[in-house]
Amino acid sequence: RQKIILDCDPGHDDAIALLLAARHPALELLAVTTVAGNQSVEKTSTNALKVCSLARVLDVPVARGMQRPLLRPARFASDIHGESGLDGPEMPVPAFPLAAQHAVDLLIELLLQSNGDIVLIPTGPLTNIAAAIRREPAIVPKIQAISLMGGAISVGNVTASAEFNIWADPEAAAIVFACGRPITMVPLEVTHQALATEDIMQRLRAMQRPVPTFVADLLHYFADSYRQVFGFSAPPLHDPCAVAAVIEPGIILTREMHVAIETQGEWTVGRTVCDIYGKTGLPANACVGYALQVERFWDLLLDTLQCYA
């Protein structure tokens, strides 16, 4: 099984990414680390605990991480995920506490102890990963690969230029993209193909089980947000795509290229500048996704959700 750490900011789609990461038979989820992003790190951490509790994922440590970006104030996505960060369904009281360790310490410890066989899956701002790299550079060669949800080849979703996770902490993203380890970037062009249509909702409800029903309830709220904010007819499941890319690499078609992170621009802060035609002459630092095998993705996700008791 592939060892992974999920670094997330739940978040509706993060919650579903967590459920996929915790139960897919090809993966061994070593830890969940949380970061400020969709909401404060207090809220995203509590949400991670609640999701794990609801799904009876009780053997994976959940560690709270950075409460604000490296250099900038924290800015949350309440318009999409609500005040709690996970508005919509009823949530249980957490059945277990947070890990005693800070997420950055846990990331460093797990990576240093490893044989270089851990893939990091960040689905929020990259603050924890960048902080860990800065604090203990010896972790870098221990990172097998990074499969991250973030960025866009063309237009953004939080500004005209930028996608939320990269925009929220562009300095952290710049550190991660410069780390030299293999990076799969799963951008909006891919995740906007993973639309939870009415058909998907019906497949979830037809399972008549608590976890798939919880996911359908989450998606009901998420669908309203996406309708109101973006005029989408169905909500995109961004973060599970980054997990799916680890389970089945061919599920996302990618191309290698250099990606620069804009940290200065007047209109473009947080933009992932994807050098498709090699104009910069800089060596490739990421495999950038551009298409998703949509049916494969849904089968993989729904088959896994069905495994929950």
Contacts with ligand BDR, residue ranges (CB under 6 A): 11, 13-14, 38, 77, 80, 123-124, 149, 157, 163-165, 238-239
Helix axes 294-306, 12-23, angle to 10 degrees: 70
The size of the interface with Ca ion (CB under 5 A), counted in residues, is: 6
- Least distance between ligand BDR and beta carbon 296 (Å): 21
Phi, psi of 283, deg, nearest 5: -65, 150
- Please answer whether residues 236 and 195 qualify as being in contact, where contact means their C-beta atoms are separated by less than 8 angstroms: yes
80 or 183: CB nearest ligand BDR: 80
When CB distances are held under 5 to 8 angstroms depending on the partner's kind, the choice from Ca ion, ligand BDR, none that residue 88 binds is none
279: exposed, middle or buried (C-beta count within 10 Å: 0-12, 13-18, 19+)? exposed
Residue 102 phi, psi (nearest 5): -70, 145
Give the SS3 label for residue 287: strand
The two beta strands, 259-261 and 272-274, are antiparallel
Catalytic pick among 12, 24, 102, 238: 238
- Rounded distance between C-alpha atoms, residue 138 and residue 116, angstroms: 11
Residue nearest to ligand BDR (CB): 164
- HEC letters along 163-192: CHHHHHCHHHHHHHHCCCCCEEEECHHHHC
Site string for Ca ion, 226-265 (x = CB under 5 A): -------------x--------------------------
Considering the complex, state which of residue 39 and residue 285 has its C-beta at the smaller distance from ligand BDR. 39
CA dist 244 and 248 (Å) reads 6
Task: Tell me which of 124, 150, 151, 270 binds Ca ion, using CB under 5 A.
Answer: 124
123, 157, 193, 225: which one contacts Ca ion (CB under 5 A)?
123
Q: Which is nearer to ligand BDR, 154 or 280 (CB)?
A: 154
Q: Tell me: does residue 128 bind Ca ion (CB under 5 A).
A: no
Draw the binding track, 8-27, toward Ca ion (x: CB under 5 A; -: no contact): -x-x--x-------------
Q: Which stretch binds Ca ion (CB under 5 A): 27-35, 116-124, 251-259, 261-269?
A: 116-124
Q: Which does 289 bind (CB under 5 to 8 A by kind): ligand BDR, Ca ion, none?
A: none
The question of whether 192 is a catalytic residue gets the answer: no
CA 97, CA 49: separation in Å to the nearest integer?
Answer: 7
User: Strand 252-257 and strand 286-292: pairing?
Assistant: antiparallel
What single DSSP character describes residue 151? -
Active site residues per annotation: 238
